[in-house]
Structures are given as C-alpha cells and as structure tokens.
Amino acid sequence: MAYVIGHITVKDPVKWAEYRAQVPATLAPWQAELVFRGERLAVLAGAHRHTDTVVIRFPSREAIDGWYDSPAYQALIPLRQEAADLDLVSFAES
C-alpha cells in the first residue's frame, strides 16, 4: 500500500468545496480510497502550519503517480491552488 497525505490551509472555502467535490472521480480509476479527513486539534511537538489533513490510500506507488499525473487530476490543480495552500506528500508502507 501507498498513501498520499495532504496538509491543507483553506484560503477560499467555496473553491475548496468545489475542488473536494471533484477529487473522488479522479481517484476511482486508481482504486484509491479516502482514509481520513480532519482538522488539527493541537501541535504536540514541533511545528505544523496547516489546519487540515487528508490521507488517501492507493494500492501502489504507481497508482499514486498515475492519479497525480492523470489529465483529470491535473485539470483540478489550478482550482486547488486558488482554494488552498497545500503540502502533498506520498508515502509507502515499510
């Protein structure tokens, strides 16, 4: 399994809602599933600048790459950039 974790600070709630509504259709062809979406409660150690987090599980790194590079997801990136500041990171289980 592999995961995409997004750390998010929303700039425009209306545009963010529009973006979020369109993302699931881009995930489906890659057998990805939303694992977690939530708001930060507290920073227990270190620093963390974002208020929200999302975790998406993929069957493989190749699926992550396929999803991220897909025309469907690439078309959403300008909207995402207008809607939120985001750090998007992929991880593989070890």
- Residue 29 is classified by DSSP as G
- Between CA 58 and CA 90 the distance in angstroms is 10
Give the amino acid at 10: V
- Cα 53 from chain centroid (whole Å): 8
Q: Average pLDDT for residues 68-86, to the nearest whole number?
A: 98
Q: Which residues, including other chains, have CB under 8 Å from residue 86's CB and lie 6 or more apart? A: 6, 7, 8, 9, 50, 80
**According to the model, what pLDDT value does residue 32 have?**
98
Q: pTM, whole model, 2 decimals?
A: 0.92
**According to the model, what pLDDT value does residue 94 have?**
84
Spelled out in words, what is the top-level CATH class assigned to the domain 2-92?
A: alpha beta
pLDDT over 90 at 85, yes or no: yes
